Chains A and B, each alone.
Chain A
Amino acid sequence: MPDAIATTHHATAHPALQHHFENMEQQREAGTLGMWVFLVTEIMFFGGMFLAYTLYRYKYPGAFAAASNHLDIRLGAVNTVVLIVSSFTMAMAVFSTQVGKRRNSIIFLILTLVLGLTFLGIKAVEYKAKYDDNLIPGHLIPSHPFNPTVAQHGDTDPHKLHLPEGVSVRNVEMFYWIYFAMTGMHALHMIIGAGILITILILAWRGRFSPEYHSPVEITGLYWHFVDIVWIFLFPLLYLLGRHLEGHM
């Protein structure tokens, strides 16, 4: 009678314990390990784009520096800080759940969500500025092709592209392909992360988590911190790479 055995086995177990695990600790460790395996696939996924970035930056250093200098370093830096604060509040949400402080946990989850949405809002402002300067690559927006105005010598209009001698606008376009692919995929991960946070928030509100059972919060944290790490690399690689050349270009 397998059913009867299963019932006995779980007679005193936590209601969140799935039948294929021995105990809560084994279940939690399996969940964490599974999330890390998923993050491996994410590392390889973003890794491919970082590789494309490396190759093209090596091939077209002047165009990449000039294109990068056109990005808004202030908004990029503010967004970096926003994400770091959100990683901190996420870590605090995990801690609050681990020690059974449901109210703090909910507050920190809301803060994390608000900071994530702030990041996306600032990103949208940046995308709009690139749209206005006709820097959306190719024909991604069919009626609005890549067509930036190149500044003449002495012109300091920040909306125009400032290119050093011998740099092709085509190669600047390649930077913007990579910029939009990488920040777009990162933003998509943030949107998915916001959706996960809302789900976790509802579950936390209903009192589903406790010091014995909080794997979903912990795993959401792993995802959120991973997305933060991607940005930690994207910020210097996309926004800062040509700043030291600004005077010479």
Chain B
Amino acid sequence: MSEHIVYPRVYIGIFFILLVGTLLTVLAAFRDFPGPLNAVVALTIATIKATFVVLYFMHVRYSGRLVWLVIASALFWLGIMFALTISDYSSRGWLPI
């Protein structure tokens, strides 16, 4: 078996990174950053947390190229969905609700 086993010390490290990230995102939410920076900070912290979960808890760091390709294609298509839809909505009028 060439399977890579991730040891508990790595999991414990990631676990604490996730807890610190949660604390930071709560603390940052109560500070008033200029412009849209609050959303940028919140999403940056969330993306970093998610990346650690994917790479270590989900073993992607030790997975084959095919798994990387599948994830990259998912993000690519997600990007297409967001980019095209937002460009459409931001260039048209809205009906009031």
Chain A interfacial positions (CB closer than 8 Å to B): 24-25, 28-29, 32-33, 36-37, 39-40, 43-44, 47-48, 51, 54-55, 58-59, 73, 77, 80-81, 84-85, 87-88, 90-92, 95, 98-99, 170-171, 174, 211-212, 218, 221-222, 225-226, 228-229, 232-233, 235-237, 240-241, 243-246
Contact partner of A43 (CB less than 8 A), chosen from B19, B25, B74, is B74
The answer to whether A84 and B8 have CB atoms under 8 Å apart is: no
**Assembly CA distance A248 to B97 (angstroms):** 25
The answer to whether A95 and B82 have CB atoms under 8 Å apart is: no
In the complex, what residues of B have CB within 8 A of residue A211's CB?
1
46-97 of chain B: CB within 8 A of chain A: 46, 49-50, 53-54, 56-59, 63-64, 66-67, 70-71, 73-75, 77-78, 81-82, 85-86, 89-90, 94, 97
**Assembly CA distance A8 to B2 (angstroms):** 25
Nearest-Cβ distance from residue B41 to partner chain A, whole angstroms: 9
Chain B interfacial positions (CB closer than 8 Å to A): 1-3, 5-8, 11-12, 14-15, 18-19, 22, 25-26, 29-33, 38-39, 42-43, 45-46, 49-50, 53-54, 56-59, 63-64, 66-67, 70-71, 73-75, 77-78, 81-82, 85-86, 89-90, 94, 97
The answer to whether B50 and A229 have CB atoms under 8 Å apart is: yes
Nearest-Cβ distance from residue A47 to partner chain B, whole angstroms: 5
The answer to whether A240 and B97 have CB atoms under 8 Å apart is: no
Contact partner of B19 (CB less than 8 A), chosen from A24, A84, A244, is A84
**Assembly CA distance A144 to B59 (angstroms):** 46
The answer to whether B67 and A33 have CB atoms under 8 Å apart is: yes
Q: Which 6 A-B pairs have the closest CB atoms?
A: A240-B29, A236-B42, A40-B74, A244-B32, A88-B15, A243-B29
Nearest-Cβ distance from residue A154 to partner chain B, whole angstroms: 23
**Assembly CA distance A246 to B29 (angstroms):** 11
In the complex, what residues of A have CB within 8 A of residue B77's CB?
40, 44
**Assembly CA distance A94 to B7 (angstroms):** 10
The answer to whether A233 and B50 have CB atoms under 8 Å apart is: yes
Nearest-Cβ distance from residue B50 to partner chain A, whole angstroms: 5
Known contacts A36-B70, A59-B94, A87-B57; is A233 also within 8 Å of B81 by CB? no
In the complex, what residues of B have CB within 8 A of residue A226's CB?
58
Known contacts A232-B53, A244-B29; is A32 also within 8 Å of B22 by CB? no
In the complex, what residues of B have CB within 8 A of residue A228's CB?
53
Nearest-Cβ distance from residue A153 to partner chain B, whole angstroms: 22
Nearest-Cβ distance from residue B87 to partner chain A, whole angstroms: 12
In the complex, what residues of A have CB within 8 A of residue B57's CB?
87-88, 90-91, 221, 225
What are 15 sample pairs from A and B whose C-beta atoms fall under 8 A apart? A25-B1, A36-B67, A47-B81, A55-B85, A59-B94, A84-B15, A84-B22, A88-B11, A95-B5, A98-B5, A171-B97, A211-B1, A212-B1, A240-B25, A245-B32
The answer to whether A244 and B85 have CB atoms under 8 Å apart is: no
Contact partner of A81 (CB less than 8 A), chosen from B2, B22, B78, is B22
